[in-house]
Amino acid sequence: MGKNPKGAEMNGTPNTATAGVTDTVRVRMAPSPTGFLHIGGARTALFNWLFAKHHNGTFILRIDDTDTARSTDESMHEIYDALKWLGINWDEQYVQSERRNIYDRYVSQLLESGNAYRCYCTPEELEEIRAQARADKLTRSYDGRHRHLTSEDVERFVAEGRKPVVRIKMPDTPILVEDIVLGSRSIDPDTLEDEVIVRSNGMPNYNLTSIIDDAEMQITHVIRGTEHLNNTPKQIAIANALGLGVPQFAHIPLVLDSSGRKMSKRHHGDLVAVNRYREQGYLPEAVLNFVARLGWSYDDKQEIFSVDELIEKFDLARVGKSGSVFDIKKLEWLNSHYINQLDVSARTDAVIPFWQAEGLINSTGQRDWLENIVEAVGERLTTLQDIIPQTRYFFTDEFEYEPKAVKKWWGGSEEKKEKTREILTNLLQILEETPSFDVETVETAIWKYTDENDIKRVAAMQALRIALTGTSFGPSLFDIVALLGRDEVLKRIPKAIANL
């Protein structure tokens, strides 16, 4: 694979040869709709999409729903939603269950050419074969025993009510698998067994439909997870038997959990659900940037990539071979970066749904006030969801005084508590008398009090902070006082004193 010859195009060279793969790339993302889109799937989608965009190609979404028992409409829509949220848009879309006749046609061809055959083995029989093969340390289990059935055999099986599957006859010559990421290798045919390509209920199987559709849809590059590596020679064998060409393959390393195992819906649940990250207040830019760097890098310094930069810089040649551990800390870092990147207005827009979901606001009529709150919170959000603990007290005075904060700043002993009551009482009086309630006036008044009475600033400030917010952390206290307003502040201090 050569470099993208963009330069040649810019020169306006009027030939087609120099364009190379640039304008003919066709890739696909082929999820099976058996659950939410998971993080690994999102990365596969992203790599395909980036590759397509980079080469001015076509990105196709193909729903591989041949497993009718597990596929659901709901899941299909969840996948659409997740992809749209990420901004990964597709140019063409196909659903495999609507393409039965195409697969049936190819199966007939395989049967007629003698490259496939019906197998009447029962599940029990297959189980036995497997067990025996394992005991004998064989490299494959199914032994092709129904390759050459007599018509009497068939009649007998049919009479017994057995429903056959269709199996592909694997070749007896090595299969060359070329992979852009992993390199080339030759697969010993003795390790391949006659795969089932059509189930006994007549439904075709993944290895068959996948490679047929790749050919039918003129896919040029198959970019998928390495869990499919062992399927590749099988699919190539099927394509060969059908006389179809095969795309180029690029198997990307797995996304692993912290103990090094493949992330899966089954074992990791919500942790891998893309939609879950959206609900928790992650930005799509952050998720995209994060998964892009799982298994791919541009150079030895750049970590932050806008989508446009990703498109410009993505290259399969820089995809690594080993699996990558999903580290949520890094995602969080990226997320806070992208949140901070938003201006106050955009950040307010982003955060409003979270306030609403929490029941803290019901209209946006107080827009200016909300923006001021967001401004005061500043760079304290790791996720949008963090806006709740950071700002709850602005919307209600029904909050708990955090025990740890109380103990540390209000005092563990009665003596210290008494001192705190005194400070709060004095502050109350100062704030009652202060001519205006803007940040500067309040600040001046409070500093004057602490400094003149030889009270530690931090002690007074934290005592007041807890009285006003119930917590020991958050935005500048003067901002909080100003945003809460005189009435609210003068109401909360006595209440705090009473609770001391």
- 87 with 284: CB under 8 angstroms? yes
Q: What is the maximal distance between C-alpha atoms in the chain?
A: 108
- Cα 492–chain centre separation: 43
| 204 phi and psi angles, rounded to 5 deg | -70, 160
Structure-derived torsion over alpha carbons of residues 132, 135, 138, 141, reported in degrees to the nearest 10: 30
Structure-derived torsion over alpha carbons of residues 216, 217, 220, 223, reported in degrees to the nearest 10: -110
Residue 364 Cβ vs RNA, minimum distance, rounded to whole Å: 25
Q: Which residue is listed with tokens 């995209």?
A: 288
Residue 15 Cβ vs RNA, minimum distance, rounded to whole Å: 27
User: What tokens were used for 152?
Assistant: 């009497």
- 194 with 167: CB under 8 angstroms? yes
Residue 182 Cβ vs RNA, minimum distance, rounded to whole Å: 5
Calculate ∠ Cα 374-379-384, nearest 5°: 65
Helix (H, G, I), strand (E, B) or coil at 168: strand
Closer to RNA by Cβ: residue 311 or 405: 405
> Which residues, 6 or more positions from 44, have their beta carbon under 8 angstroms from its beta carbon?
29, 223, 224, 225, 252
Closer to RNA by Cβ: residue 303 or 418: 303
Catalytic residue among 262, 265, 330, 417, which? 265
Closer to RNA by Cβ: residue 19 or 130: 130
Residue 258 Cβ vs RNA, minimum distance, rounded to whole Å: 7
Helix (H, G, I), strand (E, B) or coil at 327: coil
Closer to RNA by Cβ: residue 23 or 190: 190
β-pair type (255-256, 324-325)? parallel
What number of residues does the chain have? 500
In the residue annotation, 408 being an active-site residue is answered as: no
Residue 39 Cβ vs RNA, minimum distance, rounded to whole Å: 13
Residue 130 Cβ vs RNA, minimum distance, rounded to whole Å: 5
Closer to RNA by Cβ: residue 134 or 407: 134
Closer to RNA by Cβ: residue 267 or 367: 267
Catalytic sites, residue numbers: 265
